Amino acid sequence: MQEFFFKNYFVKHGNPDLMIMSMPHNHEKWRPRNATIKRFNAMMETISKTKSAELPLVIIPTAGEFENKRLTSSYGSKTFRGLTARDFIYKINTDMYPHLEPYLLKPGSNFHGFHNLVNMSYTKKDWNLDGVHYNYIWYNNLMRNILSTFCA
């Protein structure tokens, strides 16, 4: 999918002013850690080969989850390698940083990282709808924070 956007769509229609991607996603907690890292590295390699240097790309880690807000009781208090979903997502996010770092530090790459959203979402239980998904207030504030970094 990334290859299509960077090699075909953006070439034909032009780059957006800013691109924001979330990775890893919450569903990565169901996959083995090595598979998540492998997928992340493959995605970043594809993007780095095909993304134009003019396009700023922000990689944002995913937000945390709230066990007691889950709508399906079978998912409540489920652990992932001994950790709650929120703690495991935090770990996945931090595990990705060393793999993202070379892209962030490469001169002229125009790759940008962002805060671990587990930290930002930790106190926003009221903005969480079902344990995983958030309401518009969360996304409005998240976008305001990201865009304030790039727009004066």
86 Cβ contact list (under 8 Å, min separation 6): 64, 65, 66, 67, 118, 122
Rounded to whole angstroms, the Cα distance separating 28 from 62 reads 10
Number of folded domains in the chain?
1
In a domain, 105, yes or no: yes
Q: In which domain, by residue range, is 98 found?
A: 58-152
In a domain, 25, yes or no: no
Beta strands 79-80 and 83-84, pairing class? antiparallel
152 pLDDT band (50/70/90 cuts)? low
pLDDT in tens, 71-91: 877 776 788 889 989 999 999
Q: If DSSP codes are grouped into helix, strand and coil, which group holds residue 38?
A: helix
* Nearest residue to 118 (alpha-carbon basis) of 42, 55, 24, 39: 24
> What local confidence, expressed as pLDDT, does residue 73 receive?
72
Looking at the DSSP bridge assignments, the partners of residue 83 are: 80
In a domain, 126, yes or no: yes
Rounded to whole angstroms, the Cα distance separating 133 from 44 reads 25
DSSP 4: I
In a domain, 50, yes or no: no
Give the containing element (helix H, strand E) for 147: helix 136-150
* Nearest residue to 88 (alpha-carbon basis) of 99, 77, 96, 80: 80
pLDDT in tens, 126-145: 999 999 999 999 999 999 99
CB of 64 closer than 8 Å to CB of 122: yes
Q: Flag whether pLDDT at 123 surpasses 90.
A: yes
In a domain, 8, yes or no: no
In a domain, 95, yes or no: yes
* Nearest residue to 99 (alpha-carbon basis) of 20, 35, 41: 41
> What local confidence, expressed as pLDDT, does residue 27 receive?
83
Structure tokens at 57: 């790309």
In a domain, 140, yes or no: yes
In a domain, 87, yes or no: yes
pLDDT in tens, 91-115: 999 999 999 999 999 999 999 998 8
> What local confidence, expressed as pLDDT, does residue 91 receive?
92
